[in-house]
Amino acid sequence: MNKKAFDDAARAALFERIGWRVRNALLGEVYATPKPGLVDRRDTGAHRDMNYETFLTSTEAITPYMVRMFAEGMDATAAGHTPEEVFQAIRGIGLEAERAMYAATDGVNTHKGMIFTMGIVLAAAGILYARREEAAERPVDDDVTPKALASADVQPMTADGESATPETGAIAGQITVDAILDRTRQMTARSMAEDFRKMLEHPPKTHGERLFQTYGERGIRGQAMEGFPILRDTAVPWLRRFQNIGTDAELQHDIAARATLRRGLLQDTGSMHAEHFENAVHVSTLIAIMSVLNDTNVFIRSSYEDMCWLQAESSTILSMGAMFTEEGVRAIEALNTACIEKNISPGGAADILAVAILLLKLTEDADADSAGC
């Protein structure tokens, strides 16, 4: 097989894998049950216009566009375009994805916020994949040693082109959570700052503009321009911690000191156990996200005060172990009832959960690819 044929085959296989990762992350979020105020396998939460099947349909509709955003990150970078130019390019793909979503769901907004966040993260990952290929193909001679290659490329850059701190970067060839999120900041910071500047030039026309002008709340666009700190500091660390709770004696002890640990979840009893354990991990991670995220979906559907109330309730549930304790499960069920009564749906937190699931899989795949080289 010639190099071109091999490259085409490898590219097709990579994009197929990205599609599976996207689909599984989206389904992992909607499958997680119970989720306060959100659509899950059991009920429709605070919604009357969508259900579990609506999300399955929407997932199939938008997944190809998510893969295209990853591909755009790769191809535009290989062609010499900057991260900011990649962001402008994927905006058009995002609009196509929204149209496909609305067509598939008869006008229901299931994944609009998800398209924005996941699309940026995927494009950022595509940028790093392109950089890794570039580093791998670069000839090594007296002037370009392996050590030089390792330090040459992918230290993160700020929106102004300055090198960021090495602690959050990655050496050439490494695709990490921090490296991906650094790239999202490079892609969006300047454009988002300009968007916010323009919002101050006229009376608010949208919920997002009203939030910004009244409360200074920048929502998911503010998260993007800062490199999604909600993912870096909360969602991914808690997802990892709950995934490892079975071997984390300190976390188990901390939880058991305040509530009744569901030890059956921590025992390996086969495939059914694995499904129940993963569900508990995802719901518990969602609660952790809800405890700190200023979820504009909650504000828009209810009030700023209810958003703060939801954060406080979620923080209490997190402190008692969420889905990993008997008390935590009961508290989540009670919170779901309260959210439905208050018409609260923390859709922004749900989006972050799905993207966190995807991020970990992307980096695990990249590590496996590197080990196999």
C-alpha span between 241 and 246 (Å, rounded): 10
Partners of 261 in the β-ladder: 325
Residues 66 and 176 in one domain: yes
pLDDT of residue 224: 96
- The answer to whether position 341 is within a domain reads yes
Q: In terms of Cα–Cα distance, which of 269, 265, 308 is closest to 290?
A: 308
pLDDT of residue 152: 36
In the chain, the percentage of residues whose pLDDT exceeds 70 is 86
Q: 26-35, 231-240, 267-276: which has the minimum mean pLDDT?
A: 267-276
Q: Rg (Cα) of the chain, in Å, rounded?
A: 21
Residues 192 and 242 in one domain: no
CB distance 354 to 289 below 8 Å:
no
CB distance 361 to 325 below 8 Å:
no
Residues 242 and 341 in one domain: yes
Residues 271 and 157 in one domain: no
CB distance 317 to 332 below 8 Å:
yes
Residues 131 and 197 in one domain: yes
- The answer to whether position 367 is within a domain reads no
**Which has more pLDDT, 10 or 275?**
10
Residues 165 and 283 in one domain: no
Residues 279 and 323 in one domain: yes
Residues 86 and 25 in one domain: yes
Report field, pTM of the whole predicted structure over 0.85:
yes
Domain span at residue 303 reads 234-354
Residues 37 and 149 in one domain: yes
pLDDT by residue (tens digit) across 27-76?
999 999 999 999 999 999 999 999 999 999 999 999 999 999 999 999 99
How many domains in the chain?
A: 2
- The answer to whether position 366 is within a domain reads no
pLDDT by residue (tens digit) across 124-160?
999 999 998 877 666 554 444 433 333 334 444 443 3
- The answer to whether position 208 is within a domain reads no
pLDDT of residue 213: 87
- The answer to whether position 225 is within a domain reads no
The 8-class DSSP code of residue 261 comes to: B
Residues 194 and 117 in one domain: yes
pLDDT band at 208 (very low <50, low <70, confident <90, very high): confident
Residues 191 and 239 in one domain: no
Beta-carbon count within 10 A of 357 CB: 25
Beta-carbon count within 10 A of 93 CB: 20
Query: What's the mean pLDDT when you consider all of the chain?
Result: 87
C-alpha span between 76 and 78 (Å, rounded): 5
- The answer to whether position 371 is within a domain reads no
Please say if the pLDDT value at position 313 is more than 80. Answer: yes
Residues 149 and 19 in one domain: yes
The 8-class DSSP code of residue 325 comes to: B
- The answer to whether position 118 is within a domain reads yes
- The answer to whether position 126 is within a domain reads yes
